[in-house]
Amino acid sequence: MTKEKIKERIEKLRQILHYHNYQYYVLAQPEISDFEYDNLLKELKELEENNPQFFDPNSPTQRVGNDTTLEFKQVTHKYPMLSLGNTYSSEEVTDFIQRVQKGLNGEETEFTCELKFDGVAIGLSYKKGLLTQAVTRGDGVKGDDVTNNVKTIRSIPLKLSGNDFPEEFEIRGEILLPHKGFEKINNERKKNNEPPFANPRNAAAGTLKLQKSATVAKRPLDCFLYSILGDHLPFKTHYQNLTKAREWGFKVSEHIKICKGIDEIFEYINYWDKERHQLPFGTDGVVIKVNDYQQQEKLGYTAKSPRWAIAYKFKAEQATTKLLSIQYQVGRTGAITPVANLEPVLLAGTTVKRASLHNSDQIKLLDIHENDTVFVEKGGDIIPKIVGVDKRKRKTGSKEIDFIKKCPECGSDLIRIEGEAKHYCPNTAGCPPQIKGRIEHFVSRKAMNIGGAEATIEALFNKGLISDSADLYYLTKEDILSLERFGEKSANNLLQSIEESKTVPFQRVLYALGIRYVGETVAKTIAAKYPSIDEIMNASFEDLTAIDEIGERIAQSIIDYFKDKRNIKIIEKLKNAGVQLAQDNLTSKQKQTDKLKGLNIVISGTFKNHSRDELKELIEKNGGKNTSSISSNTNYLLAGENIGPKKLEKANKLNIQIINEDDFLQLLT
């Protein structure tokens, strides 16, 4: 390749990898398998190493992914949470062993082999035998404090057994969701008209970031621990300390094994490559570590990973089949997603007929032609994806797949925004899947939470009874009864749910509008600064970008949304219907004050006018501290309905003042 072509390829790979980093770490919605991602990263790394003139400090090769979110407090790791080098080949495992032996000048070396769990990395800190903090990996330097959520996981001890543990230490592991638990959660989500999780890792990641620990407690998360860090550990080897950790109450995998040489390591790898499918949880590889801590220190670290450990990743099960056609789907934002229709093939226990192709870049990257024989695998052993083409079986003269130029639903010319991988249909007002998609988003649980509406939208839209989300508020019982399979009770329930949605707080209404790039967190941030829709409509580009965490892309999207007269019309209809398009009296007081400074407040029960999250935020914004348990330091117990009897009993025993929602609001005025 010419230098110009190399530069072009490097920039393309960076763009693709940045996109998939965001999908994986931030949205927990990976679109390609680990194998595909690692191959792209490896290609980029080799090109950069051979062409240093194209070095970029912001290249995906120079950083790790980041799963931190604004809703949680960020904590700096005492010991950086580095990632492991990945390999899929036995040759690279052999190279790793040889590098270790060379680095240790031929010293006798013992290795441990452990299963690599497919979950979410967590660091647990203990002091005097008590769990004090749980922090996610984040960017390796800082992570999210998810202590309250982690305390609900029954396999994680809150208090250690015995008395021979260090005064203070950290133990790291992987939080995961076993297969049966994953299946149960997805069945429940389908019943509630919620989208199912793509795989157990996504479900575990999503659960760990929920704001309500009570909801986390209902999900059967599990945790295996695999590494101990501290200044006064009882033993000098990794294996001995993990064995001891079992006695303290930690769940350590029974499948960890000491291996004395390369033959034993490969024996372990080959055994679990076959037997992993019998396990009740997901595992995607084997981690090989030098056992002795002194030898680990001698070998040291690179900027991103230890030199004394490596992860061998199993290749996902693959099958070959014939590509029959490509269908293009239109999402609520107008994003076009190509989906391959395949000749049915058995893969990992299920028959696969369709597979995602993501975007035009992916089609070009795979060099897919019409009627190709393709390799299919399941990303995370769940989602079927095309990962390659068997070019030996390609027929002479077969045509390349040309990505469509027009929307398959409304015929509009597609556009592609600079820096984005997707193509979009710009016809937001007239493209049926976009209109229905926006209404479905509007009624979803995290938005307006209009129960039973999602299953009705298609019928209402097709009959001309609704053309936007605001029209829902003007439906009559007769309108709903005119639909097939709708009786008196169903119609009343839907109308009641629509009426109840008028009390949904403003920040959720803002999210429900479906403004591009304005997710739950962004909506919350903007609503805190501009507590009414009119203020946001009048805010300039400069005003919006001045808000923390609001970049130019989000700001421009908001400006564009309110420039559209059709959107203004929808907002007017929502106003007239009585939807909350401004903060209520409670949230309007959410400016930083010190009225609750020095006060520790425990919240328990359910409240008539506001959620516990809103009350918690109000406490913090007015200088107070929301604590989870009652102690002698507690100033108030903010009690709602169905308060926990133990908390009430303890509050009375310690003479803690018990206040209701109205009393609490009085403290702020």
Kindly tell me the sign of the dihedral angle through the C-alpha atoms of 449, 450, 452, 456. Answer: negative
- In the block, tokens 């129960």 appear at 451
Question: Coil, strand or helix: which one is 83?
Answer: coil
Q: Are the beta carbons of 342 and 322 closer than 8 angstroms? A: yes
Q: 313 catalytic, yes or no?
A: no
Token reading at 584: 């209520």
DSSP 196: P
Closest CA to 505 of 395, 396, 588, 424: 588
Question: Coil, strand or helix: which one is 378?
Answer: strand
Token reading at 232: 């006064």
- In the block, tokens 């929808």 appear at 570
Q: CA 569, CA 468: separation in Å to the nearest integer?
A: 10
| Residue 444 identity (one-letter amino acid) | S
Token reading at 618: 């109000």
Q: CA 79, CA 378: separation in Å to the nearest integer?
A: 35
* CB within 8 Å of 84: residues ≥ 6 apart: 287, 305, 306, 309, 310, 311
Continuous segment of H or E residues that includes residue 199: none
Q: CA 503, CA 416: separation in Å to the nearest integer?
A: 38
Work out the widest C-alpha separation in the chain, in whole angstroms.
Answer: 85
Q: CA 652, CA 646: separation in Å to the nearest integer?
A: 10
Closest CA to 326 of 312, 305, 342, 340: 340
DSSP 277: G
Query: On the CB side of 198, how many CA atoms lie within 13 Å of its CA?
Result: 21
| Residue 409 identity (one-letter amino acid) | E
Residue 609 — φ and ψ, nearest 5°? -105, -20
Strand partners, 625: 600
Q: CA 244, CA 227: separation in Å to the nearest integer?
A: 12
Q: CA 491, CA 507: separation in Å to the nearest integer?
A: 28
Q: CA 233, CA 253: separation in Å to the nearest integer?
A: 20
The one catalytic residue in 102, 116, 477, 621 is 116
* CB within 8 Å of 248: residues ≥ 6 apart: 129, 157, 160, 161, 162, 165
* CB within 8 Å of 268: residues ≥ 6 apart: 113, 257, 259, 286
**Residues labelled catalytic:** 116
